[in-house]
Amino acid sequence: MFRGWGKNQGCTQKFSTGGGQLGKVQEAFQFRETILLSVSSCQNMGSVIGKTMEENFKKQQEFMEKNQEVMLDRQIQMQNQMRERQAAMMVARSRDMLNWWGAFYVTVAFFGIVGFLKTKKPVPLIPLLPFSFIVGYQYDLAYGNKMQRCREEAERVMAEEGSYIELPRGLPTVQSIDAARNQ
Whole-prediction pTM: 0.56
Give yes or no for residue 166 having a pLDDT over 50. yes
C-beta separation of 105 from 135 below 8 A: yes
DSSP 8-class letter at 124: G
Computed over every residue of the chain, the mean pLDDT equals 82
Q: 124 pLDDT band (50/70/90 cuts)? A: very high
Give yes or no for residue 10 having a pLDDT over 50. no
Rounded to 5 degrees, what are φ and ψ at 170?
80, -170
- Per-residue pLDDT, averaged over 52-71, amounts to 89
Q: 41 pLDDT band (50/70/90 cuts)? A: low
Residue 13's pLDDT is what?
43
